[in-house]
Structure 1
Amino acid sequence: MALLAGVFALGLQFALTLATVHRQGFGAERALWIYLGYFTILTNALGALSLARLAAGHRDGLLARDEDLTAIAASLLIVGLVYNLVLRQTWHPTGWADVTDELLHVAMPLLYLATWWVAGRGQAVSRSRLLAWMAYPVVYLAYALGRAALDGRYPYPFLDVATLGWVRVLGNAALVGLAFVGIGAALAWLAARRPLRPALSGRAGPR
């Protein structure tokens, strides 16, 4: 269910973005450029990919280890929290745009979290591997600001250097980073307290 919701939401959001840029006289390349600029889209895509690997029976390797699932769950919770606490009041979508927003920012974080809990094997999560995932939001910040330097388009208002200045933007990014660390640590603590389950496939021993 979570995988279907994620794929549907991602596909619908791209269709809506494509329709918008077509009305503005641009093509699919512009739609893809805008679409791939959002942390929400990239994180939901990571979530969908990891769910697809789980559905295929993979429990080791990229996006399938417990640390990966925990980090993606933390990232999706950040997506939901930032949207609902900071961004929701900044616009009021209707129709399919509203459906997509709720799927990407509410349904997917909650469904993925439920899947993370059920799919976990009750083993301690490696703190070092989880901390390595801190590179993800840091790389995204550099990516988003680099894109903005090219076209002047900031994906989120709290990253708008032109309006807020570097000090406030970096402060906002630091708050999000701290939230990621806090949520990741909380999920890692919970992960070690799940019932012990065998791996769905592959080696179930220590990693």
Structure 2
Amino acid sequence: MTNPVSHTQSIKLPKVLFGINALVAWCGVLLSFTLYASGYYPPDTSNPTLLGNNPAGIDGLVGRLLDWITYFTILSNLIVAIVLTLLFLRPGRDSKIMRVLRLDTLLMIIITGVIYNLLLGPGVSHEGWDFFSNGLQHVITPILTVLVWLIVGPRRWINLKVIALSLIIPILWAAFALVRGAVIGAYPYSFLDVATKGLTSVLAFIGVIMVAAIILALVLMGIDAAISSLSRRAKRS
């Protein structure tokens, strides 16, 4: 006989964790948006081929917000916030697009955390509100998103077709960043800076990241299968 208390707790746990994950992600996204919109970051003219050289005040508002949404960090955190909110509102929600987006939350936020903390972040100091914004988006949300997935899934959502479809958003983002960069002459990251790196080098880097994303997705699929198997054994015992 099923224990009704245990059953209720098993239903509530995913909702609670999805809600916490969504709230933290939204805090990072909204704080970052506020800082960019308000002109918190002064114009950066040190590297004219990178984003950030917009006029202060209202004159640079549109440019600052377009720069903001061009960063992969923002896109990955925004997808985490939206998808985890949907899962919080309906933990049992399941569809092909939700499976793809759920995998995107993991792939994109892990890539965000790894690339920033290994390549972009070392040696960069953050002060004031930027310290909290950076920590939320590059450290706390990535770690929390992975932990929540490990604990409550959803399970058995990852397969080869889902993996293939999950690459669409990152590829579209890369195309957008490169096209916009070619138009305005500035790119979101140094490794995408075609003006200094050259198109061949940039495309090669993107290719390496895509291969790494596929490998990561396969690893996540294996972990998911292992957790599902252990869960089934625990229920039978």
TM-score range relative to shorter protein: 0.7 to 0.9
Q: 1:61 aligns with which of 78, 95, 104?
A: 95
Q: Which amino acid aligns with 1:112?
A: T
Find the partner of 1:190 among 211, 223, 228: 223
In 1, distance between residues paired with 2:127 and 2:194? 29
The one-character-per-residue Cα deviations of 1:141-167 (angstroms, maximum 9, x if unpaired) are 110011112211200000000001112
User: Which amino acid counterpart does residue 12 of structure 1 have in structure 2?
Assistant: L
Which blocks of at least 5 consecutive residues in structure 2 are unaligned?
1-19, 40-53, 233-237
Q: 1:4 to 1:184 in 2, by over 3 A?
A: same
Q: Structure 2 matches for 1:52-201, cutoff 5 A? A: 52-58=85-91, 59-61=93-95, 64-65=98-99, 67-89=100-122, 91-123=124-156, 125-195=158-228
* Aligned alpha-carbon RMSD (Å): 2.1
Q: Any conservation in 1 of the 2:163–2:214 contact (CA below 8 Å)?
A: no
Q: Distance in 2 between matches of 1:15 and 1:68?
A: 26
Name the CA distance, whole Å, in 1 between partners of 2:120 and 2:174: 17
Give the 3-state SS of the residue equivalent to 1:60 in structure 2: coil
1:11 corresponds in structure 2 to: 30
Structure 1 segments unaligned to the other structure (5+ residues): 199-207
Q: For this pair of structures, how many residues does the alignment match?
A: 197
CA contact (8 A) 1:74 1:187 kept: no
Give the C-alpha shift of residue 31 in structure 1: 2.6
- Matches of 2:37 and 2:130, distance apart in 1: 12
AA aligned opposite 2:27: F
Q: Which amino acid aligns with 1:60?
A: D
The Cα of 1:175 is off from its aligned counterpart by: 1.6
1:44 Cα deviation from its structure 2 partner: 0.7
Larger Rg: 2
Moved more, 83-92 or 135-144: 83-92
> Residues 181, 115 of structure 1: CA spacing in aligned structure 2 closer, same or farther, 3 A cutoff?
same
TM-score between the two structures when normalised by the length of structure 2 = 0.76
- Give distance in 2, aligned partners of 1:87 and 1:52: 29
Q: Secondary structure at the match of 1:99?
A: helix
SS at match of 2:70: coil
Decide whether aligned partners of structure 1 residues 14 and 194 sit closer, same or farther in structure 2, where only a CA change above 3 A counts.
same
Contact in 2 for aligned 1:3/1:52 (Cα 8 Å): yes
**Residue 68 of structure 1 contacts residue 130 of structure 1 at CA under 8 Å; is this kept in 2?**
no
Partners of 2:70 and 2:160 lie apart in 1 by 29
SS class of match (2:136)? helix
